[in-house]
Amino acid sequence: MTVYEIEQKYRLKDLAAVRRGLRALGAKKIASGRETNEFFDRNGELRKRKIAMRLRRYDGQSTLTLKGPKLRSRFTKRVELEMPVEHSPLRSILLLSGFRPVMKYTKNRELYGLGKARVTIDRLRGFGCFLEIEGTVSVIARIASGLGLGDGDREPRSYLQMMFGWKH
């Protein structure tokens, strides 16, 4: 089964205004807290194929995600496969299979539900605040417009590109 993730990241200038806008649009806060993302590779095999494998800890849960290369789309689109895991055993499996952590970062995340869309506010030390909207192209455009965000606010780089210069 192929699953595509469509999302867009925006750099925020006024975090309080965006939070007010989310409330006005009817968004419901689902979770907030510290999130740790650790990326694994084996001898650069995944990176050469523009694939990222991430083990994430957030809100008391861990998730393994495999993200494929970016595809042509108005917003960021790629194949994404994700599953809940038990962190310590899965990390051990990866290490025993020859995968090594190659990048790691932590951010503060607020997660909101808004209809069928998922909206997050991320704060990364040294990089600022960002909003990500995940949904269909029309839903992303509608929410961004409702929050007063336009093309000039879009952040085309992934967090890996911003922090580590990773190309995908």
Distances (CA, A) of 94 to 47, 100, 119, 164: 16, 7, 30, 22
Average pLDDT over residues 112-123: 96
Place of tokens 């917003």: 75
Give residue 2's pLDDT band: very low, low, confident or very high (50, 70, 90).
low
pLDDT in tens, 13-38: 999 999 999 999 999 999 999 999 99
Average pLDDT over residues 110-133: 95
User: What does pLDDT average to over the chain?
Assistant: 92
Distances (CA, A) of 126 to 76, 96, 131: 23, 34, 16
**The pLDDT of residue 83:** 96
Would the pLDDT of 100 be above 90? yes
d(CA 14, CA 88): 38
Q: Is the pTM of this model over 0.75?
A: yes
Give residue 72's pLDDT band: very low, low, confident or very high (50, 70, 90).
confident
Architecture of domain 4-163: Beta Barrel (2.40)
pLDDT in tens, 128-166: 999 999 999 999 999 999 999 999 999 988 888 888 776
**The pLDDT of residue 77:** 82
Give residue 42's pLDDT band: very low, low, confident or very high (50, 70, 90).
very high
Which pair of tokens denotes residue 130? 């960002």
CA-wise closest residue to 3 among 77, 54, 110: 77
pLDDT in tens, 56-69: 999 899 999 999 88
